[in-house]
Amino acid sequence: MDRVKTIKSGAGPAEGTSGRKRPTDFQNRVYDAIRLVPPGWVTTYKLVAEHIGCGSPRAVGQALRRNPFAPAVPCHRVIASDLTIGGFQGQAVGKAIRLKLDLLMSEDIRFDKNLRIDPCHVFRYQGKKR
C-alpha cells in the first residue's frame, strides 16, 4: 500500500516518464476524458473511445500506457468492457495489476470472486466530446 499512497499523493513523476515526447492531441483527449471519472467510479476503454470519437479501445489503452500525468489522470479507473481489471502500466499480470487493484480498492471499488466490478460503479459519459 506504500506505492498506493505515493501514487495518490502525486509525489514524484509518473514511473518511466523521463525523456518522453509531449503527449499527442489524441493522448490529451484520452487524458481529458479520464480526468472526468471521479473517485469510486470506473469507466471502460470502450466508453472512453466512444466519448472521444475514436473507434479503437486499444488505442485508448495505448495512450493510457504512456500516461505521464498520473495521478492527475487516474488511468487506474479504466477497466475492460467485461468489467474485469484490464491492464495497467502496460502489463496484464503481476505487480502492476496488484497495484491497480489496490488503488481501486482504496477508492471503495469492490470486486466479486472473479475480479469483476459491480456495473453500478461504471461512469458513463454524457454525450460525445470529439
Active site positions, annotated: 75
- Please report which residue ranges of the chain form alpha helices under DSSP H: 2-9, 25-35, 45-52, 57-65, 95-106
Q: Is residue 57 within 8 Å of residue 49, measured between CB atoms? A: yes
Look at the block and give the residue holding cell 503527449: 23
Report the distance separating Cα 127 and Cα 51, nearest Å. Answer: 7
